[in-house]
Amino acid sequence: MKVHRLISIIMILLDKERISAQKLADKFEVSKRTIYRDVDTINMAGIPVRSTSGVGGGFEIMPKYKLDKKVFSTSDISTILIGLSGLSNMIKGDELINALTKIKSFIPDEKVKDIEVKTNQICIDLSPWMGNRDLQTYLTIIQKALEERKLLTFEYLDSKGNKTERTVEPYQLVFKGSHWYWQGYCLKRNDFRLFKLSRISNLQTQEQFFVPREYQKPQLEFTDILTTLQTKIKLRIHKSVMDKVLDCCTYENFSPDGEEHYIVEFPFLEREYYYNFLLSFGNKCECLEPLHIRLEMKRRIEEIASIYKS
């Protein structure tokens, strides 16, 4: 992207005394002619870049020119660093490292300590406590395929346990509800699909390029739809599972029931995921009403118990 390259060149020139056109061309994998055009653009933007020829020659910013580092406030820089640091825990690459370095170069000496304190007040770590160790590798593969516009192939396990082989054009990485997803155009389904990374295996980049299609970003907000479909059910839960139930509803939905239990008005959808969610609490959760959901919970519990009879 040209804008990204221009900003990077400016930061390099501010950081170095002098650098040759060839080194810049090699770094950004473009021609020397492109670098010369970029330098002209930077000059027209009001940043004075001069060139010197001969051995040791190259581009440099006029010695007396200084970029005002006060363009960002302490809060601005702290917020950017917190966000980038969170991403760098999961997505590795030179671009994020370079971005962190560039942002840090805007910090005036007298504000370094203050910004360090503010940045350390919030930690965003998107890496899982445990589980799929391929996740970080897959994120890097998808990110590179997005940049290079290359097809991806993989095996995908759907919510019903069916495995299919897919070939997909990648379009967007998505982090939603503590899980990573990515949107792509599936050549098997001839449509856009949102894939959950934890259900992917044997992810590989193909040499084949694709021409990007026009597409809409995936719908990630379902609050209005869910509100229409949800029904309130009454649960009796033990206090030991309260924190997990609070992930799905607010404290206003809880009322004490003795010293150890709570009665909860719980938003519920009659879907496999929700039944499994309640069953995951074992004997710490009882569905009191409505009757048909209570009976369905009983049926599922008896089905589980039958597996252990022999």
Q: At residue 151, what are phi and psi to the nearest 5 degrees?
A: -70, 150
Residue 294 CA from chain centroid, whole number: 38
| Cα distance between residue 205 and residue 255, in whole Å | 53
- Determine the pLDDT at residue 258: 93
Multiple choice CATH, 135-209, 2.30.30, 3.90.380, 3.10.310, 1.20.1070: 2.30.30
- In the DSSP assignment, the letter for residue 302 is H
- Determine the pLDDT at residue 280: 94
- Determine the pLDDT at residue 237: 95
| Cα distance between residue 18 and residue 56, in whole Å | 8
| Cα distance between residue 93 and residue 80, in whole Å | 17
How many residues does this entry show for the chain?
310
- Determine the pLDDT at residue 1: 46
- Determine the pLDDT at residue 289: 94
Concatenated DSSP letters of 207-275: EEE-PPPP-PPPP---HHHHHHH-EEEEEEEEGGGHHHHTTTS-GGGEEEETTTEEEEEEEE-SSHHHH
pLDDT tens digits in sequence order for the chain, 310 residues long:
466 677 778 777 876 668 888 888 888 888 888 888 888 888 887 778 888 887 778 888 876 665 555 556 667 766 776 666 666 655 665 666 666 666 666 666 677 777 777 777 666 666 666 655 567 788 889 988 988 999 999 999 887 788 999 999 999 888 877 788 899 999 999 999 999 888 899 999 999 999 999 877 777 665 565 667 788 999 999 999 998 898 888 888 999 999 999 999 999 988 888 999 999 999 999 999 999 999 999 999 999 999 998 7
CB of 257 closer than 8 Å to CB of 280: no
Q: Which residues contact 242 (CB under 8 A, 6 or more apart)?
A: 254, 262
- Determine the pLDDT at residue 184: 93
CATH number of 2-61: 1.10.10.10
- Determine the pLDDT at residue 11: 75
| Cα distance between residue 221 and residue 227, in whole Å | 12
Order across the sheet with 285-289: list the strands. Answer: 254-257, 261-268, 231-238, 285-289
- Among 83, 84, 75, which residue's Cα sits nearest to residue 111? 75
The DSSP bridge partners found for residue 173 are 182
| Cα distance between residue 46 and residue 121, in whole Å | 37
Q: Does the model's pTM come out above 0.95? A: no
Per-residue pLDDT tens over the stretch 120-164:
766 666 666 665 556 778 888 998 898 899 999 999 988 778 899
| Cα distance between residue 201 and residue 168, in whole Å | 14
Q: Which residues contact 68 (CB under 8 A, 6 or more apart)?
A: none
The residue extents of the domains of the chain are: 2-61, 70-120, 135-209, 224-307
Q: At residue 111, what are phi and psi to the nearest 5 degrees?
A: -110, 0
